[in-house]
Amino acid sequence: MKINRKNICYSLIVIGVVIFGILIFRYSSQNKLSYKEKNNYTTEKNNKEEFRDIQKITGNIINNKLQGDYLKPLITIAKYQKEFTINLDGISKKNKVEIINPVSGVKVQMKNNNRDRHYLNIKMDKNIDYGILIGNRLIGSIRIVDNIDEINEKTIYDDIMENLRCGL
């Protein structure tokens, strides 16, 4: 049986390409995150970014601005006062903006300054997640607490998001 150098070269090249392909496939599959791992990473990253979207207020004036579809910040936590002044910027004057108490179902319509600012003076109860609505679409939340210094932001954020999940 005669062995041809040309056949040996082709065989070695084919074997080399196959081994190289196997090594590349193995290496890439070890370094790739599974879909679930990627999704968890993205969710954790988004949660951290959203978590920073909390505003703490110790006075009685709450200022927020509409950025995209939601208020920035999305959640406002305020220390209890007898009355609050809420100012919302960036919302067209043609929009109907309301504050809703989800416990009682009472909606209070905000006033407009004939520009892109809506405002309202309102009394708010403690430990209720008030919703801020444009039409019937939830765009933000306000919670009033007794002692703003003793709250755990992560816990209260998770609690508010759970309570508002169906609205968002």
Contacts 24+ apart (CB under 8 A), 94-99: 95/134, 95/135, 96/134, 96/135, 97/132, 97/133, 97/134, 98/132, 98/133, 99/130, 99/131, 99/132, 99/133, 99/142
Residue 134 amino acid letter: I
Of the options 3.30.70.240, 2.60.40.10, 3.90.850.10, 2.60.40.420, the CATH number for the domain spanning 52-164: 2.60.40.420
Q: Are 130 and 99 in contact (CB under 8 A)?
A: yes
At 51 the pLDDT is 47
What is the spatial distance between Cα 63 and Cα 71, in angstroms, rounded to a whole number?
Answer: 10
- Token digits of residue 168: 């968002």
Residue 73 amino acid letter: P
At 50 the pLDDT is 46
Q: Are 74 and 141 in contact (CB under 8 A)?
A: yes
What does the pLDDT look like over 55-103, one tens digit per residue? 999 999 999 999 988 998 889 999 999 999 999 999 998 999 999 998 8
Please give the model's pTM, rounded to 2 decimal places: 0.67
pLDDT digit of tens for each residue in the chain (168 aa)? 556 777 777 777 778 777 877 777 666 655 555 554 555 544 454 544 444 578 999 999 999 999 988 998 889 999 999 999 999 999 998 999 999 998 898 999 999 988 889 999 999 999 888 999 998 899 999 999 998 888 888 888 888 888 777 554
SS3 call for 56: strand
